[in-house]
Amino acid sequence: MTTTVSARKRRVPEKAMPIVLGGGFLVLVAILWQIAAWAGLVNPFLTSSPVLIAGSLGDQIGSGLLLRSLGTSALELVIGFGMAAIVGVAVGLLMGRYRYVDYVVEPYVWLLYSAPIVALFPLLVLMFGLGSPTVVAITFLMSVIPVIVNSAQGVRNVDPKLIRTAVSFGAGETALLRKVILPASVPTVMAGLRLGVGRGLVGVVVGEFFAGDGGIGYNISFFAGHLGTTEVLASVFVVIVAGVLLNVGARKLESLADSWRTELP
Amino acid sequence: MADITFDQVQISYAGKGEPFVAVNGFEAQVRDGEFVTIVGASGCGKSSVLLAADGLLRPSGGQIRIGEKIVSKPGPDRGVVFQDASLMPWRTILANVAFGLEMQGVDKATRLDRARHFIELVGLAGREEAHPHQLSGGMRQRVGIARALATDPEVLLMDEPFGALDAQTRELMATELLRIWDLDRKTVLFVTHGIDEAVFLADRVLVMGGSPSRVVEVMEIDLPRPRDAAVRASEAFGKYRTHLAELLFGAQAGAAVPS
Amino acid sequence: MTQGLRTRPPRPVAAAPPSRAVGLRWLPPVRARFVLASLVVVLALWQLAASIGVVDVQFTSTPVAIVQAGGDLLSSGELWENAQTTLVEFFAGFALAVVVGVPVGMLMGWKLRIRQTLEPALIALYVTPSLALLPLVVLALGIGEASKIAMVFIEAVITIAVNAMAGIRETDPKLVQAARAFCARGGAMFGKILFPSALPTIMAGLRLGAGRGVIAVIVAELYGGTDGVGQLISTYGQNFDVAPLLFLTLVVGIFGYVVTALLRVLGTAATSWER
């Protein structure tokens, strides 16, 4: 009772505090939510409950719906974001290196950046048909912008002293690009890819709302149309988990790329 | 044959409105095998003169010749050591030193062999696989010197290479540089703002001043070679540095320089 | 002791370069000329390609048709009527997001325990497409204005809070230490040190949040509703009437750009001491 603060042993080590507090908060919210649902304090039609959601997730796994939908959405993301990564890095490098390319492309990048791309879905449906191709197109258009912007910034921020040094030692334009500019801008390019995959996920989910014929986003919209709050929440939960995992993975890759940073042969 | 000639060199900076002329009527000759230092106040354009000699910066007037060739762009006959070493952080020391040879299209085995040789020469044997961030400032500058030497240039251009180092390391590096230079006595043009350094290293010191600046005096440094740290204590050395300080800051400052 | 001249490092020799490696900085007039030329050429090619039938007008429309559609939308008052709804929804949601997001974010940046408690949840929402909540919000709040305001709020508040938190956390610890040495604590520490130093990041958060909010209000209106620009887009979209669709999308894009630019100006003014 009378022990001093310094003498008392801490029950929770400082390192574990974020997990205990952060995780505890989420668990607490879930428990309160469940209790409120049981006690009839909230409208179960609108709010569902953690137990119901878990049950729905179980059903969706059991019926194979979840896996199938995840497969559809993942494929759309991989294709749409994959193309965005290739196109975005190439365009970004050119924009960052050659200012005339920058000037010429700039207005369209800003347009795509601030325009609601999803609003173009009727047009895209006309071009590609309803379903995955249109979702892929939306995903591409949404994720390509941060990749372009960051890649260009990465190139512009390459230490001019390094470029000067390479030129002094006889590097031509190709050698400069491959051996200095590209490796030097890897961290910024990777950050752009991370932002791009995040926006790509938005593109997949929202694209499926409007133009999809399957996938997690389509499920959310479909269940909502049938007033299935529980199923909607279950799908939203899946999207959140996917978003977090994608981000964690992207950050891992980012630090990996930084330590492995190398040049093209 | 590998002498450097500055012929009425003018350097100006583009700016808003009229270009600003920083250097005008810069006349100098660095003889083959000679070690020449350029001193001058900060911003007098001494680094610009050096970069112009490498072809990284185009003079707005006059010309610079290496031997008989007029400088228009960087070439394998010149090697530069930059102030902050400018090593590529993602390359190992070995790969950094081999960079110049790589740009010249030398095959891999040969260039790595040569790179290893020069890493050893500058006293970094065993650190070939380290990355620049693992080295101290002095060590990084050694790598910079090895990289410049690896391509076997006829002329070595050094832009305040020890400017960012602490005083002690700086003296050590100057002694090291002379040791390495003594092996084959390349033509060296060395820019510095350190008076001691300028005197210690040089056969001749070019003093820059005026606005726009030019060479205002050429000092012959008649100290015996090879030189080591002991030279700094000699009476002749003291006279040279006092004279140089007077030229740069006026008579009073010259008298006030501690010895 | 070696004693050199006391000098700053030599200034960069970026001027008068031989290669573009150490190139001249941009000259605004050149830039403006290229941007304009690019727009003119692209629009002209588009018009030309459509008129000689290289591209299908039904898919791509033409610049002239888009301008005509825009004229019709403006003169009939259709655009302004719907824009009013959208603007009210956007600004209500965004204002709410600022009022909630900035204090919550700053509090999270300031108090360790609060941050540790709320950060995982906030970050999880930050990295997920919160637009996924749209159908749920519509279920709960209906297809009226409330659900649009809620979506703008959700999209913007997360970004704003994350940036406000980051702004406080990025405060130079040396500044905090110095202030502590002068006995600043509590309110003074917050008002005189933490808030001003976080302001640039907070403003950046508002900018990003506004951009996301604009997209959110349009997507929410597209999803369902009775009026608003998004609803207008949806109507033309269902009829595959491409010209007004593109015009409206362009208008929204320009609006988003203008809001972002205004916030940038505001931010620059608020942090004028930075330069």
Chain A segment 148-167 residues within 8 A of B by beta carbon are 159, 161-162, 164-167
Cβ pair B58:C22 closer than 8 A: no
The reported pLDDT for the residue numbered C275 is 53
Chain A segment 51-90 residues within 8 A of C by beta carbon are none
pLDDT for C199-230, tens place per residue? 989 999 999 999 999 999 999 999 888 889 99
Of residues C29 and C110, the one with the higher pLDDT is: C110
pLDDT for A216-233, tens place per residue? 999 999 998 888 889 999
For residue B259, give how far its alpha carbon lies from the nearest alpha carbon of chain A (Å). 36
The reported pLDDT for the residue numbered A9 is 54
Cβ pair C5:B15 closer than 8 A: no
Instruction: Pick from A157, A161, A167, A169 the residue to mutate for testing the B interface (most B CBs within 10 Å).
Output: A169
Is C17 part of the contact surface with chain B (CB cutoff 8 Å)? yes
Of C230, C237, C260, the CB nearest to A114: C260
CA atoms within 13 A on the CB side of C244: 21
Average the pLDDT over A55-76 and give the result.
93
Is C12 part of the contact surface with chain B (CB cutoff 8 Å)? no
Q: Is A27's pLDDT higher than 80? A: yes
The reported pLDDT for the residue numbered B253 is 55
According to DSSP, residue A265 is labeled -
Average the pLDDT over A119-148 and give the result.
91
Cβ pair A167:B56 closer than 8 A: yes
CA nearest B183: which of B33, B29, B79?
A: B33
Strands B214-220 and B204-209: antiparallel
pLDDT band, residue B42 (cuts 50/70/90): confident
Contacts of B19 in chain C (CB under 8 A): 16
Is A105 part of the contact surface with chain B (CB cutoff 8 Å)? no
Average the pLDDT over A16-44 and give the result.
85
Average pLDDT, chain B: 89
Average the pLDDT over B26-40 and give the result.
93
Q: Is B259's pLDDT higher than 60? A: no
The reported pLDDT for the residue numbered A248 is 92
Average the pLDDT over B178-196 and give the result.
92
pLDDT band, residue B151 (cuts 50/70/90): very high
Q: Which residues of B touch A (CB under 8 A)?
A: 54-56, 74-76, 80, 82, 84, 86, 88, 90-91, 99-100, 102-104, 147, 151
pLDDT band, residue C5 (cuts 50/70/90): very low
Contacts of C27 in chain B (CB under 8 A): none
For residue C245, give how far its alpha carbon lies from the nearest alpha carbon of chain A (Å). 7
Contacts of B41 in chain C (CB under 8 A): 5, 7
pLDDT band, residue C182 (cuts 50/70/90): confident
Q: Is C125's pLDDT higher than 80? A: yes
Chain B segment 37-56 residues within 8 A of C by beta carbon are 39, 41-43, 46-48, 51, 55-56
The reported pLDDT for the residue numbered C157 is 96
CB atoms within 10 A of CB B200: 26
Cβ pair A115:C253 closer than 8 A: yes
d(CA B131, CA B140): 10
The reported pLDDT for the residue numbered C4 is 34
Cβ pair A168:B74 closer than 8 A: yes
Contacts of B47 in chain C (CB under 8 A): 10, 13
A120: left (phi over 0), alpha (psi -120 to 50) or beta: alpha
d(CA B140, CA C160): 43
d(CA A215, CA A66): 8
B188 φ, ψ (degrees, to nearest 5): -125, 135
pLDDT for C48-62, tens place per residue? 988 888 888 777 888
Q: Which two tokens stand for residue C138?
A: 């519509």
For residue A206, give how far its alpha carbon lies from the nearest alpha carbon of chain C (Å). 7
pLDDT for B65-115, tens place per residue? 998 899 999 989 999 999 888 999 989 999 999 999 999 999 999 999 999
Q: Is C120's pLDDT higher than 70? A: yes
The reported pLDDT for the residue numbered A69 is 94
The reported pLDDT for the residue numbered A4 is 46
Chain C segment 21-40 residues within 8 A of B by beta carbon are 22, 24
Q: Is C102's pLDDT higher than 50? A: yes
Average the pLDDT over A23-30 and give the result.
89
For residue A77, give how far its alpha carbon lies from the nearest alpha carbon of chain C (Å). 13
Tokens 């005083």 sit on residue: B167
pLDDT band, residue C259 (cuts 50/70/90): very high
Cβ pair C2:B167 closer than 8 A: yes
Q: Is C162's pLDDT higher than 70? A: yes
For residue C237, give how far its alpha carbon lies from the nearest alpha carbon of chain B (Å). 51
The reported pLDDT for the residue numbered C18 is 35
Contacts of C20 in chain B (CB under 8 A): none
* List of residues 6+ apart from C19 with CB closer than 8 A: A167, B56, B73
Strands B20-30 and B35-39: unpaired
Q: Is C183's pLDDT higher than 80? A: no
The reported pLDDT for the residue numbered B50 is 93
Q: Is B17's pLDDT higher than 50? A: yes
CB C237 within 8 A of CB C245: yes
Is A184 part of the contact surface with chain B (CB cutoff 8 Å)? yes
Instruction: Pick from C1, C2, C6, C24 the residue to mutate for testing the B interface (most B CBs within 10 Å).
Output: C2
**Lowest-confidence region among A78-82, B252-256, C144-148:** B252-256
pLDDT for A123-134, tens place per residue? 888 888 889 999
Cβ pair A166:B99 closer than 8 A: yes
Chains touching chain A, criterion 3+ CB pairs below 8 Å: B, C
In order of A40, A181, C149, C190, C264, the CA distances from C105 in angstroms are 33, 37, 20, 13, 20
Average pLDDT, chain C: 84
Is A40 part of the contact surface with chain C (CB cutoff 8 Å)? no
Average pLDDT, chain A: 88
Contacts of C218 in chain A (CB under 8 A): 116, 118-119
Q: Is C13's pLDDT higher than 60? A: no
pLDDT band, residue C22 (cuts 50/70/90): very low
Contacts of C254 in chain A (CB under 8 A): 114
Cβ pair C131:A26 closer than 8 A: no
Which ranges in B122-257 belong to alpha helices (H)?
Answer: 137-150, 167-184, 195-201, 235-249, 251-256
